[in-house]
Amino acid sequence: MTHILAIDQGTTSSRAIVFDGDIRPGASAQVEFTQHFPQSGWVEHDPSDIWTTTLSTCKEALSSAGLSAADVAAIGITNQRETTLVWNKHTGEAVYNAIVWQDRRTAAICDALKAAGHADLVQRTTGLLLDPYFSGTKIKWILDTVEGARASAEAGDLLFGTVDSYLIWKLTGGKVHATDATNAARTLIYDIHQGAWSAEICEILGIPMSMLPEVKDCAADFGDTDAEIFGAPIPIRGVAGDQQAATIGQACFEAGMLKSTYGTGCFALLNTGDTPVTSQNRLLTTVAYQLDGKPTYALEGAIFIAGAVVQWLRDGLGIIEDAAATSGLAEAADPGQELIMVPAFTGLGAPYWSPQARGAVFGLTRGSGPAEFSRAALESVGFQTRDLLEAMQADFDFSGDTVLRVDGGMTASDWTMQFLSDVLGAPVDRPVVAESTAKGVAWLAGMQVGVYPDMEGFAATWEKEREFTPAKDAAWRDGRYAGWKKAIDATLSMTD
């Protein structure tokens, strides 16, 4: 029993990957599911899609690997964070669709809370800003909007969970209602200093605390799967939100180490050690991971749209056939055109935090086509990453030179990674195992059951596949970035 099954439940798809005894990824399966957009700025998932795609990919990955439940030492779960589910604990039925982290419907609730003077309390307690991104106001919206939901919640009949909690509950047949500290830290109702749910914030939001899951370490006993699901029980022993799991997978265990994950969105995390650093530049203070009851903290910058901008070129505009085509198109783009795309489709995240902002493209000419749009889309990810790093450098004293460890689907594009290095003026390291998120949670589960080494041993297994170094000078870099900042100012000026 040296294999670990990693569940990676993401925003646009569910994946399962089998890792062997040397923490190497093997057989995998992935299934996309439908995104629902009921209104402008609203994003939802059908909870049954989350569950059925998770289950099917797990079974397919095990089958492809020629394994049964008896061969799996443990399961690790990593998940899209902040996405909010509320379900009936007796029937297992969700009272409403999952409200996705990208969803902006609670902007007015956040504005009202700010007007009432609660912003300082929220940031001081949770490390987060009052923004629709997080789970707390989503829970309030469900309880206030869905008929009968608040009465049921107050009667103790409803449970809240982020996606990890929902999957744990389903996998264990309703026996375990739990989460880990990294996911709890993204809810807007968790005190990251005390390591407990905040009764004061729950009261402000009108959330009965009976709805909340038990908070555990990232490597802990989250119960065993119901025997009927895989043919035999499998222990669930590792859980972390996707960005924290990637931080672990990249072995960013020392204060000052930095990683950035490029998936649907882009999320940069800077390890700040055992001290939570309060940002003066509108970054988030969060839990990087928690082991043996001890939290390690991070500064985080969140970009809502990264890979999703390429998906928009494919599915929304129909100007590319697949995501991989963007690199070649970007390279072939007219150097005389400098399109700047601000992909604020669901608002702007750090360091701007403008939920009302919407996307814009600047510099269009009659010669602008798929190549120029592709280049602008990929460049927008680099510009947004620089926004985050500049804010982090202002908040925390980096030791030595900045090196960014990257992972996620977009890192397969050499063109994108080279532009990222050029615009940052810093090395960008791409690991051998690109699936850092799944690897991180696989290590948590495997370490907990004694299959994998301790933290020091795991860090020694990290390998660099390629380092991208800056090929442009500071004048080019700063000039391009100045154009981006002008585009941001113009975009924000239109939010009213």
Q: Is the pLDDT of residue 399 over 70?
A: no
Residue 400 has pLDDT above 60, yes or no: no
> Which of 329, 474, 443, 390 is closest to 17 using CA atoms?
443
- Give the residue, 105 or 495, on which the prediction is more confident: 105
Band of the pLDDT at 410, cuts 50, 70, 90? confident
Res 433 pLDDT > 90: no
Q: Which fold has domain 250-431+463-496?
A: Nucleotidyltransferase; domain 5 (3.30.420)
Report pLDDT for 333: 87
The percent of residues above 70 in pLDDT, for the chain, comes to: 99
| Cα distances (angstroms) measured from residue 254 to each of 274, 298, 332, 408 | 10, 11, 40, 21
Q: Which residues make up the CATH 3.30.420.40 domain(s) of the chain?
A: 3-242, 250-431+463-496
Average pLDDT, the chain: 92
CATH of 3-242, one of 3.20.20.70, 3.40.50.2300, 3.30.420.40, 1.20.1260.10: 3.30.420.40
In this predicted model, what pLDDT tens digit does every residue of 262-320 receive, in sequence order? 888 888 999 999 989 988 888 899 999 999 999 999 999 888 888 888 888 888 888 78
pLDDT of amino acid 77: 97
Q: What is the pLDDT of residue 68?
A: 93
pLDDT in tens, 445-463: 999 999 999 999 999 988 8
pLDDT at 378: 92
- Please determine, for residue 45, whether its predicted confidence score (pLDDT) is greater than 60: yes
**How far is the CA of 281 from the CAs of 33, 303, 393, in angstroms?**
36, 15, 10
Tens digit of pLDDT for each residue in 47-100? 999 999 999 999 999 999 999 999 999 999 999 999 999 999 999 999 999 999
